[in-house]
Amino acid sequence: MTDLEKAVATQLANIEKRTGRSLHDLAQMLRASGLAKHGEQVALLKREFGMGHGDANLLAHHVRKLDAAAAGQAGPATPAAAVDALYSGNKAHLRPVHDRLMKAIRGFGDFEEAPKKTYVSLRRKKQFAMIGPATNTQVEVGINLKDVEPTGGLVALPPKSMCDYKIRLDSAGDVTPELLSWVRKAYDAAG
């Protein structure tokens, strides 16, 4: 079990303790609510059980994952398969951009690669970057880094965004030393 899996298991156990209900009961309550949208389920859990956003968000995702697995709709079996799915079809030509960037980042040291539905989250103690196809022609790199002057295509994002900055790449040649230095600073700060 990875550190992240252990942390999730601990958080789910703590949700049971704080609410006084089993995960099964909480899942049944969510299903019975008839709410299909994630945000609505999170709001319900916050309202009904006084959960913080992190607990409500995790529980809603956990129940959705259980339901998808029960329906035989589980996601790709491996992280590599999930990345393959991100860069399939009309986005397949973007895979060399992703691969070149990941090869350079792996040289920094250990970190977790967590594929999501539309991107790959890169984490140490916290997320330092995210990479994924933004469009059919560009890969977007989100970077969590404080106090950097946006230059060379680096765009500052509004406060409370998933990342502090983003940059879009058209080709593997756009993986520049400047980009890698920003990602390296974020990697170092996340560890």
Closest CA to 68 of 103, 36, 111: 36
What pLDDT sits at residue 72? 62
Buried b (16+ CB within 10 A) or exposed e, 132-157: bbbeeebbbbbbbbeeeeeeeebeee
Delimit the domains of the chain by residue range. 3-70, 79-189
What pLDDT sits at residue 140? 95
pTM of the model: 0.61
Ranges of residues in the chain whose predicted pLDDT is under 70: 1, 69-79
- Report pLDDT digits (tens) over 40-66: 999 999 999 999 998 998 888 888 887
What pLDDT sits at residue 74? 54
What pLDDT sits at residue 75? 54
CA angle at residue 65 from 92 to 144, to 5 degrees?
60
What pLDDT sits at residue 161? 85
Share of the chain above pLDDT 90, in %: 47
